[in-house]
Amino acid sequence: MSDDDNSPISVRAAKLLFADLKHAPALVLAVSGGPDSVALMWLAARWRRSLKRGPRLTVVTVDHGLRVEAGREAREVKRLATELGLAHRTLRWRGAKPKTGLPAAAREARYRLLAQAARAAGASHVLTAHTRDDQAETLLMRMLRGSGLAGLSAMARLAERDDIVLARPLLDVPKSQLIATLKRAKIGFADDPTNRDTAFTRPRLRALLPLLAAEGGDARSLARLAGRVARANAAVEVLTDGAERFLRLTDRDDAPHGPGVRSFDGVAFASLPEEVRLRLLLRAINALGHEGPAELGKVETLLSVLDQALALGPRAAANGRPVLKQTLAGALISLAGGRIHIAPAPARRSQKGT
Ligand SMILES: Nc1ncnc2c1ncn2[C@@H]1O[C@H](COP(=O)(O)OP(=O)(O)OP(=O)(O)O)[C@@H](O)[C@H]1O
């Protein structure tokens, strides 16, 4: 960690962090009461004050109803928000809570509530306080899962979710700098013990970070790796766009098109790099399937089966009957007459046959 990593953030530096959000009509700040998001609120308030005209800021705290202290923490955020001249709302996650996968369900509910609050406030963006340390943890989690390039890109500074743009202005900032900023401003914050609860994956991985840092793999280098992967991922996405155009150009006039089906010439498809072929399949399956995003591993298996069938060449096209027919994530993928077809799979009949 460099000395800079422990220095408070100046108002001038804060202006740079938020500069691209200056023209938004309104912004929602997602503030749990922990150090990172309290620092986000404080920095955003200072930045807003430095502008003649700028976005309206609304602070939103989600009470997941999971810890008794949550209500008090939300009131503390409200007190500080009011002191800073910002509007504040507390939103509650109501209803039954799942017995397994609680962190993921809580996160889904939180983003849904934040998106609702943004729409109500006329805000174009929801700002979260993810830091460089969070970025490093996210990369580590995805590495352990064996994610593809998109997953290893970790979090983006701007991302769409639930029809709202999520902005993470502190993504390059180390958490230690946020704590130093609050310390200097004499602002307190809540300590959420769940962040250290080793029953959950993320806190266990968090505990590994100092060991990795001692080997030279600190949050800065992990976050840099995520940035480099994101750059490569964006390049492959552009190549895939180009490949889609190329496949359209190689289509015969009678090739099936339209919103309900995608179809690729097998020979042209086979000439493309494996990663691009994989993404073409993923895009088509996710666009036409009705069972949510396809798992990367399953699409990889499908591609290898498809590649083998395509390698048989003309024999694969014999008598026009499909040589491959498979459903995946609610899409039907078939190879017939030398063409790959992807269409929505027919709805499965219920077991009772009703
Ligand atoms: N209860 C809450 N109310 C409002 N905002 C919250 C709340 N909890 C988290 N946030 C926002 O989300 C950011 C990330 O929080 P945290 O790292 O705890 O969540 P996470 O579940 O790991 O996030 P992600 O959903 O991106 O994986 C916080 O800095 C804050 O901006």
ipTM of the complex: 0.91
Q: Which CATH number fits domain 3-229: 2.60.120.10, 3.30.43.10, 3.40.50.620, 3.90.1150.10?
A: 3.40.50.620
Q: What atom in ligand 1 is closest to the CA of residue 106? A: 21
Q: How far, in Å, from the CA of 107 to the mean position of ligand 1?
A: 7
* Structure confidence at residue 199 (pLDDT): 82
Q: What atom in ligand 1 is closest to the CA of residue 202? A: 22
**CB of 166 closer than 8 Å to CB of 160:** yes
Q: How far, in Å, from the CA of 137 to the mean position of ligand 1?
A: 14
- For residues 62 and 90, what is the distance between their CA atoms, to the nearest angstrom? 6
**Nearest residue CA, atom 27 of ligand 1?**
107
Task: Give the three-state DSSP class for 28.
Answer: strand
Residues 6 or more apart in contact with residue 307 via CB below 8 angstroms: 270, 277
Does the annotation flag 148 for ligand binding?
no
- For residues 18 and 284, what is the distance between their CA atoms, to the nearest angstrom? 36
Does the annotation flag 34 for ligand binding?
yes
Long-range CB contact pairs, 154-163, < 8 A, 24+:
154/223, 154/226, 154/229, 154/230, 155/130, 155/226, 156/230, 161/111, 161/115, 162/111, 162/112, 162/115, 163/115, 163/119
Residues 6 or more apart in contact with residue 210 via CB below 8 angstroms: none
Closest CA to 279 of 246, 229, 244: 244
* Structure confidence at residue 1 (pLDDT): 60
Tokens linked to 252: 């015969």
- For residues 178 and 290, what is the distance between their CA atoms, to the nearest angstrom? 43
Does the annotation flag 7 for ligand binding?
no
* Structure confidence at residue 349 (pLDDT): 60
Task: Give the three-state DSSP class for 2.
Answer: coil
* Structure confidence at residue 118 (pLDDT): 97
Does the annotation flag 227 for ligand binding?
no
> 163's torsion region: left (phi>0), alpha (psi -120 to 50) or beta?
left
pTM here?
A: 0.89
Q: How far, in Å, from the CA of 7 to the mean position of ligand 1?
A: 24
Domain boundaries, the chain: 3-229, 251-344
- Note the helical H segments in the chain: 11-18, 35-49, 70-83, 102-121, 132-145, 149-152, 175-185, 201-214, 219-249, 266-270, 274-288, 296-311
The single-letter code of the amino acid at 257 is H
Task: Write out the chain's pLDDT in tens, 354 residues.
Answer: 666 788 999 989 999 999 999 999 999 999 999 999 999 999 999 999 999 999 999 999 999 988 888 899 999 999 999 999 999 999 999 888 898 888 889 999 999 999 999 999 999 999 999 999 999 999 999 999 999 999 999 999 999 987 789 999 999 999 999 999 999 999 988 887 777 788 888 888 888 889 999 998 899 999 999 999 999 999 999 999 999 999 988 777 666 666 678 999 999 999 999 999 999 999 999 999 999 899 999 999 999 999 999 988 765 555 667 788 999 999 999 998 888 999 999 876 654 444
Q: How many CA within 13 A on the CB side of residue 104?
A: 5
**Nearest residue CA, atom 6 of ligand 1?**
32
- For residues 63 and 74, what is the distance between their CA atoms, to the nearest angstrom? 7
Q: How far, in Å, from the CA of 184 to the mean position of ligand 1?
A: 24
